Structure 1
């Protein structure tokens, strides 16, 4: 946890996708100080016309290398989120050649009662986590 949903255009090889997923995971572990095995990622590939990410009027163009990351998480501080944004851009740029303007990140926050990691229990509430 967090649960990371990552949407990309179908332009990358399997190796490139694995590298991308690892880079995003490493940024999350460092920014949020969570265990390395706290890894929940869903990657979805789209045709270019099925992943629309415009610039919200900021004046830049995105390429077919665009990446949308949606993190569903317990509340995090503003500083942690900003660190995550910066690390994601840094790691994806360095490891995957991703352009900073192609990376879009969004957070959805929830509470401890909103998570069950199996066995029909809410482990954050039961004290297991």
Structure 2
């Protein structure tokens, strides 16, 4: 059950935003074995001044097009799966929306399964 939050600079088209969301979803299916139809995303636009980031942290040069992708998901994926996911997102966004591979910041937040409720006030995985 991933919850995906994608933050990007204002001014990108709805088509661009939809393609970004689709690339992330497909990478989750491919690399992290997320079940089909398990798609919950929040895509938010911000003025550039509300998205401060270091333009050269870790030797990676970022431009104004940098997007942030934060995914909360069940714990348990190994390092190789995560690397495969990062690469799938980078390659997919480069191909789909011509986003530079340097302009994506991805954070995975792992939680225990009992930390989810899909509705009805129930902990379906508990």
Q: TM-score range by the shorter chain?
A: over 0.9
Deviation at 1:36, TM superposition (A): 2.2
Query: C-alpha root-mean-square deviation of aligned residues, in Å?
Result: 1.3
Residues 38-67 of structure 1 deviation map (CA, whole Å, 9 limit, x = unaligned): 001111111011112225633343122111
Q: Any gaps of 5 or more consecutive residues in structure 2?
A: none
Do structure 1's residue 17 and structure 2's residue 17 form an aligned pair?
Answer: yes
What residue number does 2:105 align with?
104
Q: Any gaps of 5 or more consecutive residues in structure 1?
A: none
**Mapping of residues 1-129 of structure 1, within 5 Å:** 1-55=1-55, 57-75=57-75, 76-125=77-126
What is the number of residues matched between the two proteins? 125
| TM score, norm. by length of structure 1 | 0.90
Give every structure 1 segment of 4 or more consecutive aligned residues whose post-TM-superposition deviation is greater than 6 Å: none
- Do the aligned partners of 1:11 and 1:65 also contact (CA within 8 Å) in 2? no
Deviation at 1:11, TM superposition (A): 2.8
